[in-house]
A and B are shown apart, each in its own frame.
Chain A
Amino acid sequence: DIQMTQSPSTLSASVGDRVTITCRASQSISNWLAWYQQKPGKAPKLLIYDASSLESGVPSRFSGSGSGTEFTLTISSLQPEDFATYYCQQYKSNPWTFGQGTKVEIK
């Protein structure tokens, strides 16, 4: 199975900050990577697919990069509605696996 490891687990930041979350795969997944945002009590929401493609309707302050085993999600200027938990997910092979999540908190 491919393990996905996110860092950090928790991130404290202020509105307007540039935020970067890292996701590492235990083996190469090319660009078969997605990023999701989840708010408490809500379903996850797709932000980025194929490592760097922005899902329709997602603000352009979100961006993704990377390939192989190392990936990043960047929020260029953190907004109040961005405080949430973020998950990466690989879909190169079965079983599809998620990172453990990164909680972005208000500083």
Chain B
Amino acid sequence: EGQLLESGGGLVQPGGSLRLSCTASGFTFSSYAMSWVRQAPGKGLEWVSLISYSGGRIYYADSVKGRFTIARDNSKNTLYVQMNSLRVEDTAVYYCAKSREGTTDAFDIWGQGTVVTVSS
């Protein structure tokens, strides 16, 4: 049974930076696309970014383009997102999620989430 474990969340001031990590186990991490999905307090789910299995294709939501950078280290079974120029509206629980098979697919494994709070 595959598992994902996020870390790196915390409190940061507007304009600050934070790097989240997501460590995978129980499946061949290097074979699957991975995403970050966030959920603001009391709100719905918002897809943030996706990286293909090799890292060769990367996509971002318009709301984070130019500020967030997704990356992966397949040798460490770890997914990252570097978040710069953080805004109050980036406050959310951030989940990492695995694509079921192809790059364009449902998300079949989710982490437990890590909380990012952007506030002065």
The reply to whether B111 and A43 contact each other, CB–CB distance below 8 Å, is yes
The reply to whether B106 and A89 contact each other, CB–CB distance below 8 Å, is yes
Indicate whether A87 sits within 8 Å of B44 (C-beta atoms), given known contacts A46-B100, A49-B100, A94-B59: yes
The reply to whether B108 and A49 contact each other, CB–CB distance below 8 Å, is yes
The reply to whether A43 and B104 contact each other, CB–CB distance below 8 Å, is no
Give the residue name and chain of the A residue nearest to B107 (CB). Answer: A46
The reply to whether B108 and A44 contact each other, CB–CB distance below 8 Å, is no
Which residues of A29-63 have CB atoms within 8 Å of chain B's CB atoms? 32, 34, 36, 38, 42-46, 49-50, 55
* B105 / chain A contacts, CB cutoff of 8 Å: 49, 91
Q: How far is the CA of A38 from the CA of B107 in the complex (A)?
A: 13
Which residues of B24-81 have CB atoms within 8 Å of chain A's CB atoms? 35, 37, 44-47, 50, 59, 61-62
Which residues of B80-120 have CB atoms within 8 Å of chain A's CB atoms? 95, 100, 104-108, 110-113
The reply to whether A43 and B113 contact each other, CB–CB distance below 8 Å, is yes
The reply to whether A55 and B113 contact each other, CB–CB distance below 8 Å, is no
Q: How large is the interface on A (under 10, 10 to 19, 20 to 34, 35 or more residues)?
A: 20 to 34
Q: How far is the CA of A104 from the CA of B110 in the complex (A)?
A: 22
* A44 / chain B contacts, CB cutoff of 8 Å: 37, 45, 95, 107, 110
Distance in Å: Cβ of B108 to nearest Cβ of chain A: 5
Which residues of A81-102 have CB atoms within 8 Å of chain B's CB atoms? 87, 89, 91-101
The reply to whether B47 and A49 contact each other, CB–CB distance below 8 Å, is no
Q: How far is the CA of A66 from the CA of B80 in the complex (A)?
A: 35
* A94 / chain B contacts, CB cutoff of 8 Å: 50, 59
- Which of B47, B104, B113 is A98 in contact with, Cβ under 8 Å? B47
The reply to whether A97 and B47 contact each other, CB–CB distance below 8 Å, is yes
* B46 / chain A contacts, CB cutoff of 8 Å: 98
Distance in Å: Cβ of A54 to nearest Cβ of chain B: 12
The reply to whether B108 and A46 contact each other, CB–CB distance below 8 Å, is yes
Q: How far is the CA of A86 from the CA of B76 in the complex (A)?
A: 33
A and B contact pairs by CB, cutoff 8 A, 5 listed: A49-B100, A91-B105, A94-B50, A95-B61, A96-B50
B residues neighboring A (CB under 8 Å): 35, 37, 44-47, 50, 59, 61-62, 95, 100, 104-108, 110-113
Query: Given A45-B110, A49-B106, A93-B104, 6 more contacts at CB 8 Å?
Result: A43-B111, A44-B107, A92-B104, A95-B61, A97-B47, A98-B47
